[in-house]
């Protein structure tokens, strides 16, 4: 039996899709991602028929933008559904290709590897 998407994301992927990648900020890990790679808002985000495709789940301190007082600005961290990130083709190829939402067969392979 294949493992669940959540189990795969935590134990095999580490939630690599939950990282903002931009030329301005570099790589910024989601503030709602636990140390083990799990999503602390997963149950809220992936309920059946989730209508909110983009939500602000926290914030991070910019590495580039500053306020008038010279301190770095706090910016919102926007969480998008994995399926939408895949459709928009914004994930690096190595993250996309290992994603169970992109290629369902990775769930079977990971389950088989765990049962040997």
Using pLDDT thresholds of 50, 70 and 90, give the confidence band for residue 94.
very high
Q: What is the pTM of this model?
A: 0.79
User: Taking the CA atoms of the chain, what radius of gyration do you get in angstroms?
Assistant: 16
Using pLDDT thresholds of 50, 70 and 90, give the confidence band for residue 24.
very high
What are the boundaries of each domain within the chain? 5-110
Is residue 116 classed as helix, strand or coil in its secondary structure? coil
Residue showing tokens 């190595």: 94
């Amino acid at each position: 039996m294949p493992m669940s998407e959540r189990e795969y994301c935590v134990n095999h992927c580490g939630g690599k899709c939950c990282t903002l990648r931009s030329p301005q900020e570099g790589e910024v890990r989601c503030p709602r991602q636990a140390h083990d790679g799990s999503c602390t808002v997963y149950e809220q985000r992936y309920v059946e028929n989730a209508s909110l495709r983009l939500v602000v789940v926290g914030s991070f301190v910019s590495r580039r933008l500053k306020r008038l007082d010279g301190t770095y600005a706090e910016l919102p961290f926007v969480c998008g559904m994995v399926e939408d990130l895949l459709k928009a083709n914004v994930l690096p190829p190595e993250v996309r290709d290992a994603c169970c939402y992109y290629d369902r067969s990775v769930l079977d392979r990971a389950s088989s590897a765990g049962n040997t």
